[in-house]
């Protein structure tokens, strides 16, 4: 089973009993410079490779790169909003960063169910993040406790954040 969810004001989960090995969800996300700056402000990671274009120009990358954990955050968001979705508990994550991510890259976050443990309602997900050129930029596995109950809930409205 494969899904390409759309962004809307309602969030729905996939209850544990409805999740099957091989179930796949893919979500697209374009990385903005604004998100890179916000992630730096939130995390405190001010490494100039992410924020200083003159410094980054002198590196092998030639330009600023996004924080690796921004991909981790996109995986987390896909788990929380799509597979399994609201009501799930994120237990763990392994992740390997394989290519740089730049502002304006369009990423596809793909989660695939590779294991289930009924006693704990634990789902293991293969996580792959690819860029617009189909290059894998990050990959790993996540373990998530899925809700047994169906959850349909309005998405929270986020405040407007201004960057000076």
Whether 138 and 68 have beta carbons less than 8 Å apart is answered as yes
| pLDDT band, residue 164 (cuts 50/70/90) | confident
d(CA 31, CA 70): 9
pLDDT digits (tens, 9 = 90+) for 104-114: 999 999 999 99
Count CA atoms closer than 13 A to 126's CA, side-chain side: 10
pLDDT digits (tens, 9 = 90+) for 17-66: 999 999 999 999 999 999 999 999 999 999 999 999 999 999 999 999 99
Q: What is the mean pLDDT of residues 110-130?
A: 98
| Percentage above 70 pLDDT, the chain | 95
Tally Cβ neighbours within 10 Å of residue 111. Answer: 25
Q: Note whether residue 43 is domain-resident.
A: no
Q: Note whether residue 110 is domain-resident.
A: yes
Q: Domain containing 16 — which CATH number?
A: 3.10.129.10
Whether 78 and 27 have beta carbons less than 8 Å apart is answered as yes
pTM above 0.85, yes or no: yes
Q: In terms of residue numbers, what domain contains 15?
A: 2-31+68-154
Burial level of 162, CB count in 10 A (0-12/13-18/19+)? Answer: exposed
d(CA 87, CA 90): 10
* Range in 5-14, 56-65, 80-89 the model is least confident about: 5-14
Q: Note whether residue 93 is domain-resident.
A: yes
With b for 16 or more beta-carbon neighbours within 10 A and e for fewer, the 49-67 pattern comes to bbbeeeebeeeeeeebbbb
The position carrying tokens 């994120």 is 90
Q: Could you give the number of structural domains in the chain?
A: 1
């Amino acid at each position: 089973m494969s899904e390409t969810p759309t962004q809307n004001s309602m969030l729905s989960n996939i209850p544990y009993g409805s999740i099957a090995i091989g179930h796949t969800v893919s979500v697209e996300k374009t990385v903005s410079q604004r998100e890179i700056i916000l992630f730096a402000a939130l995390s405190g990671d001010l490494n100039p490779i992410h924020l200083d274009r003159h410094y980054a120009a002198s590196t092998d990358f030639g330009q600023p790169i996004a924080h690796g954990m921004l991909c981790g955050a996109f995986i987390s968001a896909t788990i929380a909003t799509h597979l399994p979705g609201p009501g799930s508990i994120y237990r763990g994550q392994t992740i390997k960063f394989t290519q740089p991510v730049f502002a304006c890259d369009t990423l596809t976050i793909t989660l695939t169910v590779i294991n289930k443990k009924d006693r704990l309602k634990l789902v293991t997900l293969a996580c792959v993040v690819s860029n617009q050129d189909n290059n894998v930029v990050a990959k790993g596995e996540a373990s998530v406790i899925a809700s047994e109950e169906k959850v349909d809930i309005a998405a929270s409205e986020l405040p407007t954040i201004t960057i000076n």
